[in-house]
């Protein structure tokens, strides 16, 4: 059974940093591109970042470019999101999502999310 | 302001057929496949439709998708109370080099 479990969320002050993790199991992690998608309270979904299976290709939404860094460790079946210079507008539930492999931007498995709150 | 445009709400009675529209542009829907996600209250999104009209295993046949030009739609037939959820369309955007989502449509089963 495919499982994605996020952790690392919490309350942080504006300008602060946080590192999110996503532990994957039930599939060959090293064969899939992975993504972070966020959802502000009461709002819609926003794609944040993608990383290819071997970390060769990395993409970011303009809203986080230069502040967030996505990475992965295939030996630990884990995905990460380093978030620096956090702003109030980064407050959201952050989901880890697996790319289906169809190269159409569809995400076939999602974690339960980890909540990040940026507030003084 | 979402890149893809969806109506904020839709509703229907049990057994009815409802459709949810999604409008985009040539850089996203016009050149890429459309995917749909269902998000039940308090849960993570779930892939409902991929490649415009394909259903992942486990998704009931009551759900169907279609695409024409720069627009797409999700149809739900035989509406059931458990279909009450938020629905999001999504497509890869060539100019943004990433997927874009619609703002979501809250479906209410009356």
Q: What is the pLDDT of residues A63-74, one digit of tens each?
A: 999 999 999 999
Flag if B47 and A108 touch (Cβ within 8 Å): yes
Cβ burial B13-41 (10 Å sphere, 16+ → b, else e): eeeeebebebbbbebbbeebbbbbbbbee
The C-alpha atoms of residue B33 and residue A118 are separated, in whole angstroms, by 35
- For A45-89, the pLDDT digits (tens) are 999 999 999 999 999 999 999 999 999 999 999 999 999 999 999
Which two tokens mark A10? 């919490």
pLDDT above 70 covers a percentage of chain B that reads 100
Q: How far is B44 from chain A (nearest CA, A)?
A: 5
- Asked if A89 is an interface residue toward chain B (Cβ–Cβ < 8 A), one would say no
pLDDT above 70 covers a percentage of chain A that reads 100
- Find out whether B98 and B90 touch, Cβ atoms under 8 Å: no
- Find out whether A23 and A77 touch, Cβ atoms under 8 Å: yes
The C-alpha atoms of residue B9 and residue B28 are separated, in whole angstroms, by 23
Best A104, A110, A111, A115 residue to mutate vs chain B (most B CBs within 10 Å):
A104
Phi, psi (deg, nearest 5) at residue A93: -85, 130
- Give pLDDT, residue A83: 98
- Give pLDDT, residue A52: 95
Residues of A in contact with B50 (CB under 8 A): 100, 102, 104, 106, 108
| Cα distances (angstroms) measured from residue B93 to each of A16, A97, B3, B15, B96 | 31, 18, 9, 35, 5
A102, pLDDT greater than 90: no
Residues of B in contact with A44 (CB under 8 A): 2, 88, 101-104
B27, pLDDT greater than 90: yes
Which two tokens mark B57? 């295993």
Determine which helix (DSSP H) or strand (DSSP E) holds B63, and give its type and residue range: strand B63-68
- Give pLDDT, residue A105: 82
- Give pLDDT, residue A104: 79
Residues of B in contact with A104 (CB under 8 A): 32-33, 35, 50-51, 92
- Find out whether A21 and A79 touch, Cβ atoms under 8 Å: yes
Q: Give the chain A residue nearest B87 (alpha carbons).
A: A44
List Cβ neighbours of B82 (8 Å cut-off, separation of 6 or more): none
């Amino acid at each position: 059974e495919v499982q994605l479990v996020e952790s690392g969320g919490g309350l942080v002050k504006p300008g602060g940093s946080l590192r999110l993790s996503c532990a994957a199991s039930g599939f060959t992690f090293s064969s899939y591109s992975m993504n972070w998608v966020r959802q502000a309270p009461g709002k819609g979904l926003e794609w944040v970042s993608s990383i290819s299976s071997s970390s060769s290709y990395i993409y970011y939404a303009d809203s986080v470019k230069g502040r967030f860094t996505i990475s992965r460790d295939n030996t630990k079946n884990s995905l990460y999101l380093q978030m620096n210079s956090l702003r109030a507008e980064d407050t959201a539930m952050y989901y880890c999502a697996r790319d289906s492999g169809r190269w159409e931007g569809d995400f076939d498995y999602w974690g339960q999310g980890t909540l990040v709150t940026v507030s003084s | 302001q979402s890149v893809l445009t969806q109506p904020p709400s839709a509703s229907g009675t049990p057994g009815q057929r409802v459709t949810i529209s999604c409008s985009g542009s040539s850089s996203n829907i016009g050149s890429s496949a459309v995917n749909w996600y269902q998000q039940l209250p308090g849960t993570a999104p779930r892939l409902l439709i991929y490649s415009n009209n394909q259903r992942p295993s486990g998704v009931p046949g009551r759900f169907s998708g279609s695409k024409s030009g720069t627009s797409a739609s999700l149809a739900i037939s035989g509406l059931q109370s458990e279909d009450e959820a938020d629905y999001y369309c999504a497509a890869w955007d060539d100019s943004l080099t990433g997927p874009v989502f619609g703002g979501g449509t809250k479906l209410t089963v009356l």
